[in-house]
Amino acid sequence: MGYNYGHFAPRRCSSWIKNCTAGNSATEPYIAAHNVLLSHATAFDIYKTQYQEKQKGNIGISISVNWYVPLRDTIEDTNAVQRILEFQLGWFLEPLTHGDYPAVMRELVGSRLPRFTNEQENKLTKACDFIGINHYTATYTAAANKTWDSNHIDYFRDSLTSLTSERDGIPIGPRAASEWLYIVPPGIYHVVKYVQQKYKLPIFITENGMDDSNNASLPLDQALSDSKRIQFHADYLYYLAAAIREGIDIRGYFAWSLLDNFEWASGYTSRFGLYFVDYITLKRYPKASAMWFKEFLSRSSQSANSKWWPLICSRK
């Protein structure tokens, strides 16, 4: 987003996008990702050769990924789902498991996609002990025809897909505060199942959560009563538990986030935290969701006394 549309730092994009003072949306996203991968492989190699024997640690990488649903029940839209997954997940995970970018990216991006040397391919291959998944939402996906000229190319157009949150005017799920965050709990099940089957590595959910708007006029007691967030985590954890029961190797789950914080381009207008932060005094207050997590984590799956537990284990 920082090199394609310029929505985030360092705010670089092509002039035709009209949002940046400099940049190239056709090449810079791929160059930036290429350097991230090479940096990761170097750090992985240093740790493995110099520190792992003593520290016994592991190194992975976290990838932000939506789940994608075909807009229509057609082969074209089904293929579009696979393409966007390769452009989002495979872009990073294929080099870290097989040493090169997905074939469909090589085909569609062509010479704009950087090449790895043989040495780099060898260093990249299997340079990952686990996969971190940042997952929030799901999106409808349709095949897109190439209707633009060579002067109007960017990373998102390269995948020949069109993304939408609605089908026939009906949203894919209820929306959180952020305009991009639709609540679709089954998506986390499909994401981890796809990643496990394709890459066969342990998985951590390194981010998962939803936001409320920062309403300065809302009384504190109402701001702390976040039943929608409790339901969000209960529903997503329900589908994650279903994946675990099927044998998918999930090693951990991290809610985003512990505290309300400065959120990317949203700043302080969006609150993801389990704890409410007064941005003037910086005092922190546990929301109802923090109490729910505390009780949820302190009880075993056999405990039927918790008022929150049925949200997880009694789903049909």
pLDDT of residue 287: 99
Beta carbons of 161 and 142 less than 8 angstroms apart: yes
**Structure confidence by residue, pLDDT tens digits, 253-297:** 999 999 999 998 899 999 999 999 999 999 999 999 999 999 998
The distance from CA 242 to its chain's CA centroid, rounded to whole angstroms, is 20
What letter would DSSP give residue 29?
H
Helix axes 28-50, 91-98, angle to 10 degrees: 40
**Is there a contact between 214 and 250 (Cβ–Cβ < 8 Å)?**
no
Given this model, what pLDDT does residue 32 score? 97
What pLDDT does 86 receive? 99
* pLDDT 10s digits, 158-204: 999 999 999 999 999 999 999 999 999 999 999 999 999 999 999 99
pLDDT in the model for residue 204: 98
Is this model's pTM higher than 0.85 or not? yes
| Regions of the chain short of the pLDDT cut 70 | 300-316
Looking from the CA of 73 toward its CB, the CA atoms found within 13 Å total 0
pLDDT score of 312: 52
